Amino acid sequence: MDSGTDSVKESVKESVANSARDAAARKTIVITGAGSGFGALSARALARAGHTVYAAMRDTGGRNAARVAEAEAYAAEHAVDLRTVELDVLSQESADAAIATVLAEAGGPDVLVHNAGHMVTGPTEAFTPAELAAVYDTNVLGTQRVNRAALPHLRAQGHGLLLWVGSTSTRGGTPPYLAPYFAAKAAMDALAVSYAAELARFGIETTIVVPGAFTSGTNHFASGGHPSEQTVLPAYEEHYAGLMDQVAGRLAALTPPDADVSLVADALVDVVDTPYGKRPFRVHVDPADDGSQEVSLVADRVRAEFLTRIGLADLLSPVARKGTA
């Protein structure tokens, strides 16, 4: 056999090996709240990175039909595998159906991105308990519904990744008039931390991506809710006149001019593309630097040291039982 034939064979073998590696690197990803903001940007960035991405959103046949069409157009224009799926995080039936669709179509998911969230602004006293519960329902219980739908599959396959989109408000600066949202994000962070240990022996990894206050490029503030009861607002306006506008303006002033919300999407792509076992537990994307990273370093170190002290250090580093994630 001549050297030319040998060269062709080696080239074919290398091509097959590269294709296999590429296939192994591709993930099937479900990202909640992907109709706009961080979610839509991240879905597109992850698809551009070569993954199969399901941009999950509610009411895909109604108010979000235009966003579904935009995602389809983006996928066609950029030749990426970006899909949409109906998923209302307020409904367990909807979460179950969405994951069933992803399993049937793609055999996944490999990665869950908990991004869906809702912000409200106003004096804390003005919100009824039911209104606080509604914020908690979206930001916290929504993640639980999606986990309960998807974790049986991830546990069975022996690997996977939960990616939680948190907030620097959990441990950093907390300006007033955002308490219901901050409280819900803190609860979600606590849930993510506990899940990390409880899923480690199933080979499932956890990363918490922690965005700071991006006052432009998302519709968090514009689409945020307000208290329905107005009776106490005049008293607060007397002493805190224009406070919410002041907070938004001062947060914007702290943010460097080159800070863009796409940094959050880039961080999610970096985490997904990091090899299994090397992914960080927490990643901050906080151009304004409100102190969250400094506090989190201490909190996460204390957690690691405590689990080690009580003989559970293995829960800090999941090991895939089958394949890689």
Q: In angstroms, what CA-CA distances link 181 with 83, 124, 248, 289?
A: 29, 10, 15, 19
Residue 181 among the catalytic residues: yes
The CB density around residue 223, as the number of other CB atoms within 10 Å, is 11
Which one of the listed residues 54, 181, 195, 236 is annotated catalytic?
181
> What whole-number distance in Å separates Cα of residue 234 and Cα of residue 99?
46
Task: Report how far Cα 154 is from the mean position of its chain's Cα atoms.
Answer: 17
Token pair of 191, please? 């849930």
Q: Which residue has the tokens 């002041």?
A: 246
Residue 54 phi, psi dihedral angles, 5° rounding = -105, 110
Catalytic residues: 181
